[in-house]
Structures are given as structure tokens and as C-alpha cells.
Amino acid sequence: MKKRANIQKLKTFGFKKNGDKYSYSLDIMNNEFTLNIDIIDESEIKTELIEKAFNEPYTLHLVEDAQGTFVGQVRKEYEKILYEIKEKCFDINVFEWEYSYEILDYAKEKYGSPAEYLWPKFPRNAVCRRQDSQKWYFAILSVQGSKLGLPTDEIIEVIDLRAPVEDVPNLLNQPNIYPAYHMNKKHWITIILDGSMPINEIYMLIDKSFLLAKK
């Protein structure tokens, strides 16, 4: 499975935010080279190896046919560092849709709620709960579209949210909001995370759901 950078782990490792990317630099090979590493869009890794004596990029370590003891040592150290970063800073990319990750990041940053993957048979399902009451305030699920009455069996990603009973009928009149999947339909709603609803509107509904999950 693909992996996705964990921003907090990147920061702990030493990466710094640099515009729309996270950057990290270190000297290798007895300070003969500086290795610059950029993480872009939380999944793409770009590197540049600078030979300090000439202040120019060094690329022989990337050439598969390049031979020699020195090139081999550079390549080995370069690959060792990238492997360490991938192991320490990247998580399994469970979901396919970006909204799913934006929501999980929002919950962790605002409410300190880590994603919990409770069902080994369903690894692409996650829940977030309040830390005080231990009640769920949302679940992100991967389900067949037909389960929501859509004319497709394609797997889609949705969020189940608590909602005030009196608000549920009006919410269900909005595009992209459905009766709750696998939850009490009087108290929960389901939203498809395909980008049709602005993410800030989903955040507002998450905030309301969080309040409803209190003790």
C-alpha cells in the first residue's frame, strides 16, 4: 500500500515547513555532501545532493550503472537515510480521498483525537472519539455506493456524523447528505467525501457532532 507523510512525525524528525512543502537538510559522507530533502503533498519525496567542494549537484548515486567504491558508499548512505525517513515519518495510506485525511488532521489538531482503526477485517474504516466521554463523534467509512442508494457498487468514502434530531430532516434535503449508514438515522447523517461539499461546511458539522458526543 502507498504511504503518506505524517506531519507531526516529520516535525519531530526535524523537517520544517517551507511554503507548500516540508524540508530537511543534513551533511553526509564526512561532511562532503549536503542532502536536501523535500516532502511535497505529503507523499512525494524530492532530493538534491550537493557536493560541497564544488557547490554543485551530485547525481552519480542515482545512475544505476554507475560503479565504484565511492559511488557505492554514497548510494548506500543516501538510501539508508531515505529508508529511515519513510519508516519514521510515513503512515500507511489507508484512504484514497484527500478529504478523508483533511478531516482526520482537523480532528487531531483541534480536538486531539487520533484516528482509531477498530476492525481488522475493515482496515479502511476509522473513528474519532472525544477524549473525555470516549464517545465517537464521527466515523470515516469505505462503503459501496449502492449502500447509500447510489447506482454504483464502486467503493466510496463517507463520514458519519452526529446531528441534532431536529436538524436531520433539513440536512437530508441538502445535496450529498444521506441517511446515516450503519448508524441511528434519527441522530446521525452520512456525507460523501468526494469534494462536492466544501470542507469548511463539513468542519462545522464535525464541531456540532463533537458537542453532541459530550457526557
At 44 the pLDDT is 86
Residues 60 and 102 in one domain: no
- Among residues 31, 63, 92, the one where a domain terminates is 92
Residues 56 and 20 in one domain: yes
Residues 139 and 63 in one domain: no
> Residue 122 belongs to what domain range?
98-212
Instruction: Please state the domain count of the chain.
Output: 2
CATH number at residue 207: 3.90.1150.30
Residues 82 and 58 in one domain: yes
Cα–Cα distance, 28 to 6 (Å, whole number): 24
Concatenated DSSP letters for 68-108?
SHHHHHHHHHHHHHHHHHHHHHEEE---SSHHHHHHHHHHH
At 114 the pLDDT is 83
Residues 134 and 62 in one domain: no
Residues 79 and 102 in one domain: no
At 7 the pLDDT is 81
List, run by run, the mean pLDDT of 10-residue segments along the chain (215 residues): 77 92 96 96 89 96 93 96 92 84 91 87 90 95 93 95 96 92 95 95 97 91
